[in-house]
């Protein structure tokens, strides 16, 4: 399952983390998209994106487009946001090929995720309203936040699905949480207050989140 493309993705992820920490811009422009590119190649090599894996592959492609947009210029922030929204919608479909189970555990999970996202959006709101066309921008971020929340919830409740193994569900749940932490840090660093080495933590949690999500999905759909 671990092919050369996986190790290439890991190598470029480490280069990306070092680049954000040290401020190596040129290396960052290479390493960040390369990490996602090799994750895309890896998932296709192993699964050929058969069955439900097609949605996780599509999510990686949209994530790569989002990475490129966010690197180019701050004016492309909305393009990047839209790309990642489509990525989360793809993850959503992949996780919910079967209807989600309705149990006390999944209901409590939905409440906890909802409370967490509401608190994050409330914290970001003042800063979001200060940007040009603030109300429209806030609406777009809220739409993204709700989609992200649904993705996280969908990943978490794989632990309640009888057809998901313990390891695959744990990897997806951990990956989704890390992705959520990454986006929260990104929003806080950009719209509330600058965090020392904030972008390094954003990239670290983002890449580990992506790896967790697709690895868990691959284990599930390959029935390992």
Give pLDDT, residue 136: 86
CA distance 179 to 197: 17
pLDDT at 133: 79
pLDDT for residue 74: 76
- Whether this model's pTM surpasses 0.85: yes
Q: How far apart are CA 219 and CA 139, in angstroms?
A: 36
Residue 224: per-residue pLDDT: 67
CB 97 within 8 A of CB 163: no
Q: Specify the pLDDT at position 14.
A: 97
Q: Is the pLDDT of residue 223 over 90?
A: no
d(CA 100, CA 148): 17
Query: Per-residue pLDDT tens for 42-79?
Result: 999 999 999 999 999 999 999 999 999 988 877 888 89
Task: Give CA–CA dist 88/172, Å, rounded.
Answer: 13
H or E segment at 44? Answer: helix 25-47
């Amino acid at each position: 399952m671990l092919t050369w493309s996986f190790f290439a993705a890991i190598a470029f992820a480490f280069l990306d983390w070092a680049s954000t920490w040290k401020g190596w811009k040129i290396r960052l422009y290479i390493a960040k998209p390369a990490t996602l590119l090799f994750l895309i190649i890896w998932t296709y090599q192993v699964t050929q994106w058969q069955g439900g894996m097609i949605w996780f592959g599509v999510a990686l492609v949209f994530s790569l487009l989002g990475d490129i947009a966010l690197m180019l210029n701050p004016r492309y922030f909305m393009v990047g946001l839209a790309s990642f929204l489509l990525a989360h919608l793809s993850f959503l479909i992949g996780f919910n090929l079967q209807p989600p189970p309705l149990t006390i555990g999944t209901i409590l999970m939905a409440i906890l995720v909802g409370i967490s996202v509401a608190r994050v959006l409330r914290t970001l709101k003042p800063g979001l309203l200060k940007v040009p066309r603030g109300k429209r921008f806030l609406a777009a971020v809220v739409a993204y936040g709700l989609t992200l929340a649904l993705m996280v919830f969908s990943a978490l409740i794989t632990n309640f699905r009888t057809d998901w193994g313990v390891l695959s569900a744990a990897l997806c749940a951990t990956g989704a949480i890390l992705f959520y932490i990454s986006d929260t840090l990104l929003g806080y660093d950009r719209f509330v207050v600058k965090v020392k080495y904030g972008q390094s933590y954003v990239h670290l949690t983002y890449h580990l989140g992506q790896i967790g999500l697709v690895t868990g999905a691959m284990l599930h759909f390959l029935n390992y």
